[in-house]
Amino acid sequence: MADASDDRRIGSVIAGYRIDSRIGRGGMGVVYRAHHLSLERVAALKVIAPDLAESSGFRERFSREARVAAALTHPSIVTVYDAGEVDGTLYLAMQFIEGSDLARILATDGRLKPYRAIDVCRQIGDALDAAHERGLIHRDVKPANVLIEGRNAYLTDFGLTKRLGGTQVTMAGDVVGTIHYVAPEQIEGREVTARSDVYSLGCVLFHCLTGRMPYERDTDVAVIYAHLSEPPPRPSRVRPELPDGFDDVIAKALDKNPDRRFQTCSELMAAAKAVVESAGPLSETLPPRRASTTGAPLEEVRDARRSRVLLAGVDASTRAIAHVALGGRVDMREAASAGALDAARDARPDLVILGAAEIVGALRADPLTRDSKLLLVVDESAGRDPRAAGADERLSTPFSPLQLQVKLRKLLGADAVGA
């Protein structure tokens, strides 16, 4: 960022730091490149906005959390050198990182190569876990707070109060995070834990892998609603060349229920690393569209992956006909009726073939399964079960293989079922 020629602080000295140039501006204030005159050390000096500094509550919290942040020592956490007040001006002196932040890199490059994305987020995950062990939650993990210098990644703004801005949310006057990366419990004002940072790191990982934020919507309200109510997005839908295993990793990291997420950031990144290592070399180009004999595209690239089908509580006849109809063209799993919801949450299938109506409502209500197509296979001779209303299609027993194929082609497409 270019220096502001009208910035009267440039050239002045605050707490022994000579301000050389302005390098950034945020909700809390302005960040300068500064030089400590006695220690001969370059630092990033954050000068807190005057209206914030006038608040006694803010000053008390700033002082308390600055002390906690200064006590953190980790290779991937920007070191806090000093914090205090001079002539009514609050300041925070930090390690100066020569490089750029991850937000600017993603804005320029679009996305990172998978191995690089894993490496960057692994370093940040290690930093978060180290802080969590000290009882400190970041609350605002986002690309703008990740600084990149060569192959090294650093997490900044750790544990410090964030100010309300155009892309932040606040509860009871306390800002809890930036909306594109914020955990549902932060939005709702519930207890924030280490797993809230796990959620945010999962959002950052998704952005690094795909070049897109998890929930890109037209308004802030729509983004917030998506975090609260919509299922986690699948990286493979944005970049079909990515292994499907990333879908499962992101689904767990972004689970609405904190107890069902990865318990630590290291656990999240170990799972992501296992996916990229098991996949081998990954192409950085999109696969070509499949074409008909006339050369016209048959489907979008994002639909190139194999469909997922879950058979839940179906009888032996339905199971056999489904295997014949679908063959090896889909990834098929089976589960008993009692375990159908858990199996669907784990597999996140495109289609669930159900042998009972009891589970339809639960599948439609769960954020991770509500988008799956539901085919209900039941005996309707005694009348329709009102609980079946949420199913996309019904098939009454007994039925022929052709009848099942017609339903499957309608729900999955002709290519999944075959001729």
Residue 310 makes CB contacts below 8 A (sequence gap 6+) with: 332, 333, 334, 335, 340, 343, 344, 347, 349, 351, 352, 353, 372
pLDDT at 99 over 70: yes
Q: Which residues of 370-400 are buried (b: 16+ CB within 10 A; e: fewer)?
A: eebbbbbbbeeeeeebeebebbebbbeeeee
pLDDT at 296: 35
Measured between its terminal Cα atoms, the distance across the chain in Å is: 59
Spatial distance between the Cα atoms of 403 and 398, rounded to a whole number of angstroms? 10
pLDDT band, very low/low/confident/very high, at 304 (cuts 50, 70, 90):
very low
pLDDT at 88 over 90: no
pLDDT band, very low/low/confident/very high, at 384 (cuts 50, 70, 90):
low
Domains along the chain with CATH numbers: 13-95 (3.30.200.20), 100-279 (1.10.510.10), 306-417 (3.40.50.2300)
pLDDT at 3 over 80: no
pLDDT at 63: 83
pLDDT at 182: 94
Spatial distance between the Cα atoms of 358 and 73, rounded to a whole number of angstroms? 53
Look up residue 77 and give its DSSP letter: B
Least confident of 77-86, 219-228, 326-335: 326-335
pLDDT band, very low/low/confident/very high, at 161 (cuts 50, 70, 90):
very low
Least confident of 3-12, 36-45, 82-91, 209-218: 3-12
pLDDT at 173 over 70: no
Spatial distance between the Cα atoms of 384 and 147, rounded to a whole number of angstroms? 59
Average confidence (pLDDT) over 119-131: 96
pLDDT band, very low/low/confident/very high, at 176 (cuts 50, 70, 90):
very low
Task: Tell me which of 179 and 162 has the higher pLDDT.
Answer: 179
Average confidence (pLDDT) over 235-239: 94
Average pLDDT, the chain: 82
pLDDT at 269 over 60: yes
Q: Is 142 annotated as a binding residue?
A: no
Tally of CB atoms within 10 A around 7: 15
| 366: annotated active-site residue | no
Task: Tell me which of 196 and 165 has the higher pLDDT.
Answer: 196
pLDDT in tens, 338-359: 888 888 888 788 899 998 888 8
Average confidence (pLDDT) over 244-265: 96
Helices assigned H by DSSP within 245-311: 245-253, 265-279
* C-alpha 347: how far from chain center: 18
pLDDT band, very low/low/confident/very high, at 199 (cuts 50, 70, 90):
very high
- Please pick, among 140, 157, 247, 350, the residue that the annotation labels catalytic: 140
